[in-house]
Homo-oligomer: A and B are copies of this chain.
Amino acid sequence: MNAFGRIFRVNIFGESHGESVGINIDGIPAGLALSVDDFLTDIERRKGGTQKGTTPRQETDLPILKSGVFNGKTTGAPLTILFENNNIRSGDYAKQRDVPRPGHADFVANKKYGNNEDYRGGGHFSGRLTVALVAAGVIAKRLLLTSSKGGGIKIHSTILEIGGETDLEKGLQKAVDNKDSVGGIVECKVNGLPIGLGEPFFDSVESLISHAVFAIPAVRGIEFGTGFQSAKMFGVEHNDAIKDASGATFTNHAGGVVGGITNSNEMVFRIAIKPTSSTPKEQHTYNWETNTIDTFSVKGRHDLCIALRVPVVLEAVTAMVLVDLMLLEQMIPRVINN
C-alpha cells in the first residue's frame, strides 16, 4: 500500500505528470515548530547538485502545507504536504506510450492496472514522488533531534561509489563517455541512537529500514554493517565484543543492530542503486502497436546517475522508521515543548 509506519504514518500520492505529488502524515507529535523554509535545504539536496549527472528538469518544489500546522507549529492533526507539478512536458512521454521502457514499471503497471495507469513519465511509479518522502524526512529528522530520551540523533548519508568508482567525477564521466547511465553505492550512518529500537519478531530495525528503502526507486540491495562480507568471516572475527556496562563494543561489524535491535553503536548500512533506466543510448523493447521489437533512445530530461539524488531520500526514510520506533518506545513524546 501507499502507507508506511505504525504511529508516525505516511501516505504518499501523486504522479510525475499529474497535478501534484504529496504526502499525508499522521501521528506527528503536536508542538513541533515548522515552516516552509525548513524544507528547502533537503529539497535542494535531492536535486543532486548541478553536476552533469542530474536532470535539467527544475521544479520549483515549494512544499505547500495544507493541514496540520497552526501558528507555526504542528497541531497533532495530520499534516498534508503538496508539491504542485508545474514544469511538465507530457508530450515527451505520450509518444512513447506504445513502447514500454525497459527497466521502468511501464509494462507491469499497464498489466496490473488493466490499461488504466497514468503512463506519463512513470506516473505514480516515478522518482518524482521522492520529493514527498524528503518532505516527510525533514519532519522526522527534526523529531529525532528534539527527542527527549534519545537526544540528538543524527543521520548522514553519502555516496560511496558511482559507476564502480570511488572517485565520483570519474564514475560520472564513464556515463558521459558511453552516452549511457551509471549506478552507485550509497551509505547511511546514524549516530546517537538509544539501545532498544526494533521489535521482534518481524519489526527488526533491518526489516523496517529495508522495507522503506526498497520503496525508493532503483534500489537493488541493502546490507547492514559488514553485510555480504559477513558471509566470509569467522564467528569470533565478526562478533563485536562488548567492553563495558554501556554495551559499547570494540568493533562495529554488526552496524549497530544486534538481534534486530539497536545497540547504541553507530548504525551503518549501504544500498545499491542501479543505473538510471532511461539513458540516451539506443535500447530495444517491444512495441505494442507494431508488434515488433523496436529501438528507441530517451530524448527527454533524465539523470545519468540517479544515485546522486538518493542520499537525502535515504536519510528521509531512515528517519521515518526511527521516529516511528521511538514513538512506540516512548522516547519521543506525543507533545513537543520547544
Contacts and interface: CB of A to CB of B under 8 A. Distances in A.
Interface in A183-221: 183-185, 195-196, 199-204, 206-208, 210-215, 217, 219-221
A311 interface: no
B113 A31 contact: yes
A19 B66 contact: yes
Interface in A1-41: 1-4, 6-7, 9, 11-15, 18-22, 24, 26-27, 30-31
A261 interface: yes
Interface residues of A, number: 150
A245 B286 contact: yes
Interface stretch (A44-52, A55-63, A69-77, A138-146): A69-77
A2 B108 contact: no
A181 interface: yes
A80 B13 contact: yes
B247 A102 contact: no
A300 interface: no
Contacts of A158: none
Interface of A: 1-4, 6-7, 9, 11-15, 18-22, 24, 26-27, 30-31, 65-68, 70-71, 73-80, 82, 100, 102-105, 107-109, 111-118, 122-125, 129, 161, 163-164, 174-175, 178, 180-185, 195-196, 199-204, 206-208, 210-215, 217, 219-245, 247, 249-250, 254, 258-263, 272-279, 281-286, 288, 291, 293, 307, 328-330, 333-335, 337
